[in-house]
Amino acid sequence: MKLAIMKLDGMTCPSCMQKIEHAVGGQNGVQDVKVLFNAAKLKAHFDPEATDADKLASVVQELGYTVESIKVKD
Amino acid sequence: MAINQPMLKMNMWFAKNPGKVSGTVGGLIVISWLLSLLHAGMPAEAIMYAGGIVGTVQVALRAWSALKAKTISIELLVTIACLGAMGIGEPDEAAIVTFLFLFGNVLEARTLAKTRSAVKDLTDMAPEQADVVQADGSTVATDIDDIDEGDHVLVRPGGQVPVDGIVTSGTGRTLEAVITGEAKPVTKEAGDKVFAGTMLDSGTLTVETTAAGEDSTFGQIVELVEEAQDAQAPVARFIDKFATYYTPAVLIIAIIVGLVSRDISLAITMLVLGCPGALVIGAPVANVAGIGRAAGTGILFKGGATVASLAAADTLMLDKTGTITTGKMLVHTHKNFAADENAALGMLSAIERGSNHPLANAIVAYATQKGVSEPAAPDMSTIKGLGLASADGKYLVGNDRLLAKYGVTISADVQAAIDDAQNAGDSVVILAIDQQVALVVGVNDVVRPGAAVGLAAMKKNGIKKIVMLTGDNRAAAERIASELPIDEVRAELLPQEKLDIVNAAQKAGSKVAFVGDGINDAPALATADVGIGMGGGTAVALDTADVVLVKADFATLSRAVGLAKGTTRVTTQNIVIAVGTVVLLLLGLLVGIVHMGSGMFVHEASILLVIANALRLLNKK
């Protein structure tokens, strides 16, 4: 399991958070996902065999949110 | 994926330029109005349709992306309402509603950013780079994420310490207010600990990294605050859950109303009025502003629930040593029996200088402050549990039992001085020279400055009972308590007994806030309704306490209680505003004075009102 931490931009309402959590959480290989609304951060544990951080970032962008930076930690 | 690309791009553009879209819609509305003033009916209506369509497309795109994530969003309600409005020939309603909705979103984003500014100030202080020392002695600027434990980093004068670590070489003075609350520079030399985020005021240090980035104490503080702002108070969590079902429910109710009444206009107005805007945002925004404000002044709340329980607390229990007192020993009294007082104090200081005991340090500091000159110290050896003695017994430093062992006569005067000091709760150190008592010194730790004022302020702020708990003897505890507005003193306690007292008070119906340093009172901290750690930003305090006071003083403690009350008050006000708005709008709809456009206006106004209300917390002292 790896941990992806993304800094997001453009979250204006808590329902944005729900959207992102649903969408990223539904991806194959994602174990858990947490969106920190106020810090505009996303933290997701994922299986590096099944997916990667860039894939998850593109899911977020498809919803219409900018991903400012991505960090991956073991 | 290919099909989605243009749509994705459009969505991104809209997301990045909400101001431009709402501006366009607003402009089209104004042009249309001007044209109709000039009685140009057809073009005016066409332009209004254009405005309605531009606005609706923007909102619909967001609704679609939410639907894909299986979420029924406010945007969906607005989209359906606007499509309906244009369908029944009311493009002006659609244009106005989308304009207000989008413009409102822009204002919300701006003001919300402000509520987060206090924490942003904190995160902006996080170090980003460090100068890592290479094998050849040169340094390479390295991103903080690539620093490993054991890396040696160089910190230059005026620079920020980038990592937690141990100084390996160099000396300097650091400003650690962000971690410990201490405003004065602290001298650092080889072997001392330094913290990421602190500033090197002067000097140059080489530091061996123990933790960097998010693992450092500073990183943990930032993470704690970030998570706390999202950790809602129970009332907010309830509303969050409620809103999840509320939005789809509004959609269903509007459909039923439309089918039953055959009045599309009524049904789509209900969709707009049903948007749960202020209700969803009212409570969390208070939490964000309150916790953010607190973090900016050195008070770390672990979440909304903690804020609520501190606001509800009616009993404050405090540990004595290290909490009510500074935990630092100081000379409290001294009585002289020697011919030359300064010479005696100088000798005592010279002897104590060789010892590392806290009592000895206090005496040396006291003598240094008095400016007495020290003679060369005689050779002393430790008599366990009693004190220090020179080999020939000429010099004795210790307690009364040491004097008895060496056969020193204790006169009535000396005995009175010893009794006085002991009754005041002091630890007593006696100096005897040539079988004559020269000095009786009472040492104690001192009450934190501002304790009386801070505790009194808390009594005004709803704390009904203040209890002091301590493992020390009763005399010492009573002496400290007598200077302070403390209602009850429980002395000579074991850590387990502190826990029992907290439990008993809770069983009796009290809401207990426990204040401690987190070292020997962790069980009580964890059991209390809210545990407040006064140990500064230390790992123990960060782990066990619900509220951490970075700056360990009573003004901060009192401010924490005040902020908790203020935040809870704003939360309640915001819920009243939000629920009141929905009720008023529905009443207005029933009597027929509220329409789609005016409904959306009131709605957006109520959202901005709850945000503005929360922003007041940012200026709270």
Query: What pLDDT digit, counting tens, does each position of B546-593 carry?
Result: 898 888 788 899 999 999 999 999 999 998 998 888 888 888 887 878
Contact A66 B230 (CB under 8 A): no
- Interval B343-384: pLDDT, tens: 999 999 999 888 777 788 889 989 988 888 889 888 888 887
Q: What is the ipTM of this complex?
A: 0.76
Quote the tokens at residue B55.
């606005």
Instruction: Give chain A's domain count.
Output: 1
Contact residues of B toward A, CB < 8 A: 4, 8, 11-12, 14-16, 61-62, 65-66, 68-71, 73-74, 105, 108-109, 112, 116, 119, 123, 145, 226-227, 229-230, 240, 243-244, 280-281, 284, 288
| Amino acid, res. B272 | V
Contact yes or no for B161/B203 (Cβ under 8 A): no
Task: Look at residue B37 and tell me whether its pLDDT is greater than 60.
Answer: yes
Rounded distance between C-alpha atoms, residue B543 and residue B537, angstroms:
10
Contact B284 A26 (CB under 8 A): no
Q: Does A62 touch chain B (CB under 8 A)?
A: yes
Helix axes B41-68, B4-16, angle to 10 degrees: 110
Over residues A66-70, mean pLDDT: 86
* Spatial CB neighbours of B235, under 8 Å, sequence gap ≥ 6: B283, B308, B571, B575
User: Which residues sit opposite B389 in a β-bridge?
Assistant: B381, B396
DSSP string, B497-517: HHHHHHHHHHHTT--EEEEE-
Terminal-to-terminal C-alpha distance of chain B: 53
pLDDT band at B154 (very low <50, low <70, confident <90, very high): very high
More confident residue, B39 or B382: B382
pLDDT of residue B559: 92
CATH number of B314-493: 3.40.1110.10
pLDDT of residue B565: 93
Distance from CA of B592 to the nearest CA of A (A): 30
Contact yes or no for B173/B189 (Cβ under 8 A): no
Q: Which of B10-14, B107-111, B355-359, B399-403 has the highest average model confidence (pLDDT)?
A: B399-403
Rounded distance between C-alpha atoms, residue B562 and residue B558, angstroms:
6
Rounded distance between C-alpha atoms, residue B379 and residue B391, angstroms:
7
The CA R_g of chain B, rounded to the nearest whole Å, is 34
Q: How far is CA B192 from CA B90, B137, B173, B216, in A?
A: 73, 22, 11, 16
pLDDT band at A12 (very low <50, low <70, confident <90, very high): low
Contact yes or no for B71/A12 (Cβ under 8 A): no
> Which residue has 């409290």 as its token pair?
B332
Contact A19 B8 (CB under 8 A): no
Quote the tokens at residue B32.
């249309």
Output the furthest CA–CA distance in chain A (Å, rounded): 33
Query: B45 by DSSP, 3-state: which?
Result: helix
Contact yes or no for B330/B446 (Cβ under 8 A): yes
> Of all helices (H) and strands (E), which one includes residue B97?
helix B91-115
Note the helical H segments in B262-296: 264-273, 277-296
Q: What count of other Cβ atoms lies within 10 Å of the Cβ of residue B1?
A: 7
User: Which residues sit opposite A44 in a β-bridge?
Assistant: A4, A33
Q: Is B319 a known active-site residue?
A: yes
Contact yes or no for B553/B448 (Cβ under 8 A): yes
Q: Which of B124-138, B237-251, B519-533, B564-578 has the highest average model confidence (pLDDT)?
A: B564-578
Query: A30 by DSSP, 3-state: which?
Result: strand
Angle CA B404–B471–B365, to nearest 5: 60
Q: In terms of C-beta distances under 8 Å and separation of at least 24 residues, what long-range contacts does B193-197 make, across chains too? A: B193/B164, B193/B165, B193/B166, B193/B167, B194/B155, B194/B161, B194/B164, B194/B165, B194/B166, B194/B167, B195/B161, B195/B164, B195/B537, B196/B126, B196/B127, B196/B161, B196/B162, B196/B163, B196/B164, B197/B125, B197/B126, B197/B127, B197/B160, B197/B161
Quote the tokens at residue B536.
């500064």
pLDDT band at B616 (very low <50, low <70, confident <90, very high): very high
Which value, to the nearest 10 degrees, does the dihedral of the CA atoms of residues B8, B12, B14, B16 take? Answer: 180
pLDDT of residue A15: 64
The CATH number covering residue A51 comes to: 3.30.70.100
Domain residue extents for chain B: 4-115, 128-219, 222-290+562-619, 314-493
Q: Does A58 touch chain B (CB under 8 A)?
A: no
Q: Which is catalytic among the residues B131, B164, B319, B472?
A: B319
Angle CA B439–B442–B443, to nearest 5: 130
Rounded distance between C-alpha atoms, residue B62 and residue B73, angstroms:
9
pLDDT of residue B558: 92
Helix (DSSP H) and strand (DSSP E) numbers for chain A = 2, 4
Work out the percent of chain B whose per-residue pLDDT is above 70: 93
More confident residue, B619 or B464: B464
Q: β-pairing, B186-188 with B152-155?
A: unpaired
pLDDT of residue B355: 77
For B62, which of A26, A36, A64 is closest by C-beta distance? A64
**Buried-exposed string B135-162: b where 16+ CB fall within 10 A, e elsewhere:** eeeeeeebebeebeeebbbbbeeebbbb
Distance from CA of B289 to the nearest CA of A (A): 10
Quote the tokens at residue B60.
């619909």
Contact B69 A12 (CB under 8 A): no
Contact B15 A14 (CB under 8 A): no
Contact yes or no for B570/B290 (Cβ under 8 A): yes
Please name which of B516, B495, B536 lies closest in space to residue B322, comparing C-alpha atoms: B516
Query: B424 by DSSP, 3-state: which?
Result: coil
Query: B38 by DSSP, 3-state: which?
Result: coil
Q: Which of A41-50, B216-225, B246-255, B257-266 has the highest average model confidence (pLDDT)?
A: A41-50
The CA R_g of chain A, rounded to the nearest whole Å, is 11
Q: Say what the pTM is.
A: 0.74
| Amino acid, res. B377 | A
Please name which of B96, B100, B103 lies closest in space to residue B33, comparing C-alpha atoms: B96
Distance from CA of A2 to the nearest CA of B (A): 15
The verdict on domain B128-219 having CATH code 2.70.150.10 is yes
Contact yes or no for A11/A37 (Cβ under 8 A): yes
Quote the tokens at residue B239.
């509303």
Q: What count of other Cβ atoms lies within 10 Å of the Cβ of residue B346?
A: 18
Contact yes or no for B462/B361 (Cβ under 8 A): no
Task: Look at residue B22 and tell me whether its pLDDT is greater than 70.
Answer: yes
Contact yes or no for B468/B486 (Cβ under 8 A): yes
Contact yes or no for B195/A5 (Cβ under 8 A): no
Quote the tokens at residue B446.
């001192």
Dihedral over Cα of B155, B157, B159, B163: its sign: positive
Query: B327 by DSSP, 3-state: which?
Result: strand
pLDDT of residue B12: 65
pLDDT band at B1 (very low <50, low <70, confident <90, very high): very low
- Interval B284-293: pLDDT, tens: 888 888 988 8
Quote the tokens at residue B386.
């009693």
Contact B109 A12 (CB under 8 A): yes
Dihedral over Cα of B38, B44, B47, B53: its sign: positive
pLDDT of residue B346: 92
Range of the domain at A68: 2-73
- Interval B302-314: pLDDT, tens: 888 889 999 999 9
pLDDT of residue B563: 93
Please name which of B364, B361, B359 lies closest in space to residue B349, comparing C-alpha atoms: B364
